[in-house]
Amino acid sequence: MTDRKRKLDNPLSATLTAIRDIRDTSGLIVPSPETERLDGKTCLITGANSGLGFAIATELARRGAHLILACRSGIPETAERISTETGNMDITMEPVDLSDFNSIDALCDRLDANNVQLDRLILNAGLMAPKSAPSAQGFETMLAVHFFGNYRLTKRLIADGRMRQSDPAQPPRIIIVSSEAHRTAPAIDLAEFGKLKPHSASTAMKQYGHSKLALSLLARHLANTHRGVGDRPDIAVFHMCPGPVNSAIAKSAPKLMQPMIKVMMGTFFPKPEKAAHPVIHLACSPDLDSMTGDYMHLMRFKNPSDSAMDDHAADALIARAEDLIAQIS
């Protein structure tokens, strides 16, 4: 295991590594200025009812976007709070549980019936589950939400024509919130992939990293599939890690670590409003219209892990996912 992997594979070491990362200002890109707006653009954001997702939605509302907030909870008060804060009344909410294919399909059916056209799809919803539990389809919950749910959602939206390219110069964008924790995961064992295995609070970070590697491979697959034939992709795909966020994730750490991690996060970690800057840049910057498949950590582009850049592994993972889904259909 590399030093970087060791520093990310448990809550305490990951917290310390995150503090180091936010102190490193080398190579940072200037965040998207407020003048880069999304007037007339429709953005669907998952998990927008709290934390990072709420901060992303609030800033995009300020920039004139029509928002569709796909959330498990916070309906309708999330939209009401954002409208009150920003003056943007063009916000709708859709219930969805990304751990359940039936709920995802119902969301897609509603979007299809209303002929919704998306310019931005921001896959933000995520969780850190301290104990393993099965999803509605029998997958471990973090893997179900981070990989299977996002795969089901993007596949349906694209197949239904919800992300058609209306302007070749400005392709629609998919922005996937992954994590530097993907670096902790070994290459995915396809024979074992999708099997429900027990984990506890002390080993949850390893399962989290595994699910985020699968998510980054999904980003790789989508980017390769929709690169197009010209100098613009048909659909631009980005995956990113926002860096550390002062959030409730400490509750998944072992109880003895929680007080110390909470103090460190409150002292050193940025609030969601600042942590949202990379997502806002990926959603708004016109300089990215010819790019796809890139990974951003904090406000800098860099390569993800070697495993996350393996095209063969990405295609094999999707094929394995299709087999698993067919078995439960």
> pLDDT of 9-35, one tens digit each?
555 566 667 667 766 777 789 999 999
pLDDT in tens, 191-227: 999 999 999 887 888 999 999 999 999 999 999 999 9
Instruction: Specify whether domain 3-328 bears CATH 3.40.50.720.
Output: yes
- Sign of the torsion angle spanned by Cα atoms 90, 106, 55, 183: negative
What's the confidence (pLDDT) of residue 62? 98
Q: What per-residue string of b and e applies to 102-122 under the rule 16 or more CB within 10 Å gives b? A: ebbeebbeebeeeebebbbbb
Per-residue pLDDT of 222-250, as tens digits, reads 999 999 888 899 999 999 999 877 665 55
**What pLDDT score does 16 carry?**
64
pLDDT at 291: 97
Q: What is the Cα–Cα distance from 190 to 34, expressed in whole angstroms?
A: 44
Q: Peptide bond before 171: cis, by omega within 30 degrees of 0?
A: no
3-state secondary structure the chain: CCHHHHCCCCHHHHHHHHHHHHHCCCCCCCCCCCCCCCCCCEEEEECCCCHHHHHHHHHHHHCCCEEEEEECCCCCHHHHHHHHHHCCCCEEEEECCCCCHHHHHHHHHHHHHCCCCCCEEEECCCCCCCCCCECCCCCEHHHHHHHHHHHHHHHHHHHCCCCCCCCCCCCCEEEEECCHHHHHCCCCCCCCCCCCCCCCCCCHHHHHHHHHHHHHHHHHHHHHHCCCCCCCCCCEEEEEECCCCCCHHHHHCCCCCHHHHHHHHHHHCCCHHHHCHHHHHHHHCHHHCCCCCCEEECCEECCCCCHHHCHHHHHHHHHHHHHHHHHHC
The domain segmentation of the chain, as residue ranges, is 3-328
pLDDT for the residue numbered 270: 79
Q: What is the pLDDT of residue 231?
A: 86
User: What span, in angstroms and rounded, lies between the C-alpha atoms of 35 and 63?
Assistant: 8
Question: Measured between alpha carbons, how far apart are the two ends of the chain, in Å?
Answer: 38
Closest-CA residue to 121 (of 60, 173, 178) = 173
* pTM (2 d.p.): 0.91
Find out whether 175 and 119 touch, Cβ atoms under 8 Å: no
CA dist 211 and 179 (Å) reads 10
